[in-house]
Amino acid sequence: MLRLDWRTPDSWATAVLADPLALLSDHAHCELKAASAVQSLIVTYPDRQALVQKLGPMAVEEMQHFNQVVEVVAGRGHSLRAARPSPYAEGLGKAARQGRQHLMLDRLLVAGLIEERSYERFELLAEHAEDGELKHLYRDLMVSEARHRRLFALVARNYYSRAEIEKREGELRAAEAAVISALPFEVRMHSGPVPMPVHDDPNSHAGVGECA
């Protein structure tokens, strides 16, 4: 199913799993933001019946995900940390076109891409988590995000031609890849890759002359 233009390396998953509470707290805020993004689409386009009927249950489900993550955090004796601005969401927001009709398509496609990126990352996290509870959580959520991705595509098909969707989706997929691959690495769901270690180049001439 994955049609992302940039794949998250496995090293990202092992690095974020080193601080599970920071990751879980950021993840809980992501679920909360997903619920409010879906509600905001309904508030903006209340006359689009297919959109309202498909996205209403999704808003409920994102809040269930939020509660699931909060339960895991609470079960470990912690509370959520403060929410932080998301440069990922900000970057994707800038890629969306303005104007009511264009904006609706772009918002649906961007939301679908975020679901797809979440699916990709949950799959990696489920694969690399050694903690059974986290492995189960990520595998469970992975399935839902794949379904949400398909739902956003279905809603878009009610209002736009397949050709228009495919063209714009290709452009936004490239924008999403450019945004996330350029983000700095942090322990959060939508961060960039772990920087590659810098190896000394034995053929480098740097330092030549220092002994002179």
- Provide the minimum distance between the beta carbon of 20 and Fe ion in the complex, in angstroms, as a whole number: 18
Nearer Cβ to Fe ion (133/164): 133
- Provide the minimum distance between the beta carbon of 174 and Fe ion in the complex, in angstroms, as a whole number: 22
Nearer Cβ to Fe ion (117/148): 148
Nearer Cβ to Fe ion (131/140): 140
The encoded tokens of residue 140 equal: 């469970």
Residues that bind Fe ion (CB under 5 A): 31, 62, 65, 115, 145, 148
Instruction: Give the residue among 106, 104, 141 at the shortest CA–CA distance from 120.
Output: 141
Q: How is 83-100 classified by DSSP, letter by letter?
A: P---HHHHHHHHHS--SH
Nearer Cβ to Fe ion (11/169): 169
Cα separation of 188 and 35, whole Å? 18
Nearer Cβ to Fe ion (140/164): 140
Q: How is 118-177 classified by DSSP, letter by letter?
A: HHHHHHHHHHH--SHHHHHHHHHHHHHHHHHHHHHHHHHHHHS-HHHHHHHHHHHHHHHH
Q: Which residues of 32-43 are buried (b: 16+ CB within 10 A; e: fewer)?
A: bbbbebbbebbe
Type of residue at 179: V
- Provide the minimum distance between the beta carbon of 125 and Fe ion in the complex, in angstroms, as a whole number: 13
- Provide the minimum distance between the beta carbon of 204 and Fe ion in the complex, in angstroms, as a whole number: 47
- Provide the minimum distance between the beta carbon of 87 and Fe ion in the complex, in angstroms, as a whole number: 20
Cα separation of 121 and 192, whole Å? 12
Nearer Cβ to Fe ion (17/111): 111
Cα separation of 122 and 149, whole Å? 14
- Provide the minimum distance between the beta carbon of 8 and Fe ion in the complex, in angstroms, as a whole number: 17
